[in-house]
Structure 1
Amino acid sequence: MRESTGKVLLLDDDESILRSVGRLLGASGYHVLSFQSARALLDSDETETADCIILDLGLPDSDGLHVQETLAAAGGGQSIVFLTGRGDIPASVRAMKAGAVDFLTKPVEAETLLAAVNMARQRACALREVEEKKASAVRRLRSLTAREAQVMHLVVAGRLNKQIAADLGTVEKTIKVHRGRMMTKLGVRTVADLVRLVAVADPPDIGPKSNYDQGRR
């Protein structure tokens, strides 16, 4: 048995499509879960970890565009591929503008569908990697003490140790200690590394800022 290359959720009210597409993806190493109603898919926890969701446009209890909107409103970053028998240009434009990876019509060539799903999987993996890096950076930044956070903000702002000491009303030796502890906790060696870490986390409220930093806003 081939090692799974990812999880795919398949939503279609046509059992023959569920079987044929499921077999195709399964043979290509994907773990496939099939759903025949929008409600069943939206109620499933599997959407949170899916690498790709294949949606039909016309469903008995909803439509694929509504499912796409609902998933997006819930904060999901799922990679979606539409596979429908009644697609039109306005629907395809709306789906692609909302972030769909591809909009395919039935019947579809196996190679075309597999290429779209693989692209969706790659996008999902890239998004997860970005989110994991951001979460790791935020965790590290939140480990700082109040004073270390103030020093961090000033270092990122380009202030020297002597300037930071004056800004915070202390001596340069103390700033060097706080700065060293801050850099160690964050796992960075250089100011450039620190700036990149803060940029990845993009935290608007990580730790207190100094009066100097607040005054620059």
Structure 2
Amino acid sequence: MQTHYLSEDNSILNHFLGQIRNVNVQHDSMRFRRNIERIGEVMAYELSKDLRYRPIEIQTPLGIKKTAEIEDKLVLCSILRAGLPLHLGFLNYFDSAENGFVSAYRHHPNNDEFFDILVEYQAVPNIENKTLLLIDPMLATGQSMVAVFNKLMEKGLPNEIHIAVIIAAPEGIAYLEKHLPDSCHLWVATLDEKLNDKKYIIPGLGDAGDLAYGNKL
């Protein structure tokens, strides 16, 4: 797996990352969603450099201009619900992409710290021979991402697979490296220190879904 770390060089990305972590800013859910969306736009721009392009000619009012356009047939697929504002950021740039949504969550069958991953709701277009962008803001253990990936592969085989996350833990990256094909690209806005005993990212930012849309039962 090829991993790209986007926050190693200072840019406006780090400004947005700081705001989504800041407890004095997080209470504004609209601002939190908008910052996640803007991070998605920055990540989409960086990822776009790795796509395939074809030459085209554009008619202007005064002549012809040779340029290029994206050749890949893109499918954006987000993990509900936290992935929605990040998805929108990518869609702002890849506005002709097809869109898919999958639900995945930690299920605690014994009401203790043990959990497995349940993948339930799926609304996904055909991904066969397309470029799949799998989107989720947080990569903690990596189990949800791998579970969704495996479920999607039952529907078809993309030409290329890109995974985009905002905050990742080293344990989650190691899990993806072990369970996903070497040809996958992982795009990480920023890498954090570790997981705690409950498998949450430290220092992280809290629950991205709750911060964006309110606490759930």
Query: What TM-score do you get using the length of structure 2 for normalisation?
Result: 0.36
Name whichever structure is richer in strand by fraction: 2
Q: Which has the higher contact order (CA 8 A, sep 6+)?
A: 2
- Between structure 1 and structure 2, the one with the greater Rg is 1
